[in-house]
Amino acid sequence: MLRAVIWDVDGTIAETERDGHRVAFNAAFEAHGLSWRWDVATYGDLLRVAGGFERLMHDMEERRDAPAGATRAVLGRSLHRFKNEAYARIVAEGRIGLRPGVLRLMDECRADGVAQAIATTTSRANVDALFHGAFGAGWSRRFGAIVCAEDAPAKKPDPLAYVVALDRLGLAAVDVVAIEDSPNGLAAARAAGIATVVTRSDYFRDAVFAEASAVCDGLDSPIAWHGGAAPRVDLAVLRSVLQSRTARLGQTTSNGASP
Residues within the interface to ligand XBP (CB under 6 A): 8-11, 17, 21, 50-52, 120-123, 126, 149, 156, 182, 185
Binders of Mg ion in range 2-61 (CB under 5 A): 8, 10-11
Q: Is the Cβ–Cβ distance between 174 and 253 less than 8 Å?
A: yes
Contact string 157-196 vs Mg ion (x = CB under 5 A): ------------------------xx--x-----------
CA distance 228 to 196: 15
Residue 240 contact among ligand XBP, Mg ion, none, beta carbon within 5 to 8 Å by kind: none
> Between residues 182 and 240, which has the closer beta carbon with respect to Mg ion?
182
Q: Is the Cβ–Cβ distance between 144 and 4 less than 8 Å?
A: yes
Residues near Mg ion (CB under 5 A), total: 6
Residue 251, judged by CB atoms within 10 A of its CB (0-12, 13-18, 19+), counts as: middle
Residue 120 contact among ligand XBP, Mg ion, none, beta carbon within 5 to 8 Å by kind: ligand XBP
> Between residues 63 and 81, which has the closer beta carbon with respect to ligand XBP?
81
Residue 50 contact among ligand XBP, Mg ion, none, beta carbon within 5 to 8 Å by kind: ligand XBP
Query: Please, what is the Cα angle at 101 between 114 and 239, to 5 degrees?
Result: 35
Query: Catalytic residue among 10, 59, 158, 175, which?
Result: 10
Residue 33, judged by CB atoms within 10 A of its CB (0-12, 13-18, 19+), counts as: exposed
> Between residues 121 and 246, which has the closer beta carbon with respect to ligand XBP?
121
Query: Please, what is the Cα angle at 55 between 35 and 134, to 5 degrees?
Result: 100
Residue 123 contact among Mg ion, ligand XBP, none, beta carbon within 5 to 8 Å by kind: ligand XBP
10: annotated active-site residue:
yes
CB neighbours (10 Å) of residue 206? 6
CA distance 181 to 151: 21
> Between residues 46 and 244, which has the closer beta carbon with respect to ligand XBP?
46
Q: Which residues are catalytic?
A: 8, 10
